[in-house]
Amino acid sequence: MTVATGVGETSVDLSERAQKILEMAVGVCLLLDLPVFYLKTLEWSDKTASLRGGGGQIVPSDQCFILPAGDVILPKHMKEKLSVDEWKPLIASSLIYERKLLPMLRGKVLKLIVVPTATSTVVAGVFLALTRSFWAALPFPTGLVVFAVPPSIVLFLGLGRFTPYQKSARLQADMQATRLVGREFFLEVLRKIDGLGMEDIEERKRKNSEGSSSEFPSLAERLENLLGGVS
């Protein structure tokens, strides 16, 4: 049975199969020394914002998300594509990334984004105060835009520098997940997803070949990472 949530593209799945996936995920939590009560519901969704927030990210076909509220979000368009056991590598990798590696990345966010942005804002504010007679002559919108430019540039550059760390951490999570599910089985699942020809997977391949940056590694990168044994 699927219970509608009032949001068109999302549902909380209470079926027997969904319960088995959730029980499997709880078992992975035990293996990772994570609280078993952390996971509460399993939902199939195209975007994480469809229910209780989470940033509004599109859920890729080869990923799952673990929201702070304890919701396991699986891509809706993959609902009938994988068996219960085949979800295990993806869930294990996501749990490792979200609960073990992502917290360590927050220090990098502070260093690369928060501190430089705050510093540039303070510097701009001091400069504005020291030259207030000059800025007073400028129209209001112009002065505001000039004041906002330095922090905005630093923020933009910082976010761009952070994305490779996210991708690297996701690949590292894949490697760590193989200790729980086995490398060959993980490779088998990724190859199966690759063979489905999902639209978003193919789009990410194209963008990756064009040099676009994403926090999510392509399937080719995930396969190469596991085959090479290098995170």
Say what the pLDDT of residue 110 is.
59
Predicted confidence (pLDDT) per residue in 213-227, tens digit: 788 999 999 999 999
Is the pLDDT at 75 greater than 80? The verdict is yes
Mean per-residue pLDDT, 6-18: 63
Say what the pLDDT of residue 89 is.
97
> Does the model's pTM come out above 0.95?
no
State phi, psi for 202 to the nearest 5 degrees: -65, -35
Higher confidence at residue 104 or residue 6? 104
Helix (H) or strand (E) holding 24: helix 16-31
pLDDT bin (cut points 50, 70, 90) of residue 171 is very high
How far apart CA 201 and CA 63 sit, in angstroms, is: 11
pLDDT bin (cut points 50, 70, 90) of residue 113 is low
Say what the pLDDT of residue 123 is.
60
pLDDT bin (cut points 50, 70, 90) of residue 2 is very low
> Minimal CA–CA distance to 208: which of 56, 60, 45?
60
Task: Note whether 218 and 60 are within 8 A (CB).
Answer: no
Say what the pLDDT of residue 147 is.
52
Buried b / exposed e over 76-109, threshold 16 CB at 10 Å, is bebeeebeeebbbbbbbbbbbbbbbbbeebeeee
Predicted confidence (pLDDT) per residue in 118-168, tens digit: 566 666 556 555 565 555 555 555 555 555 555 555 444 444 456 788 899
Say what the pLDDT of residue 3 is.
38
Mean per-residue pLDDT, 171-185: 96
Task: Note whether 92 and 181 are within 8 A (CB).
Answer: yes
Mean pLDDT rounded to a whole number for the chain? 78
Higher confidence at residue 34 or residue 184? 184
Task: Note whether 84 and 57 are within 8 A (CB).
Answer: no
Task: Give me the long-range contacts of 30-37 (CB less than 8 A, separation at least 24).
Answer: 31/180, 32/92, 32/95, 32/96, 32/99, 32/100, 32/180, 34/95, 34/99, 37/70
Mean per-residue pLDDT, 8-35: 82
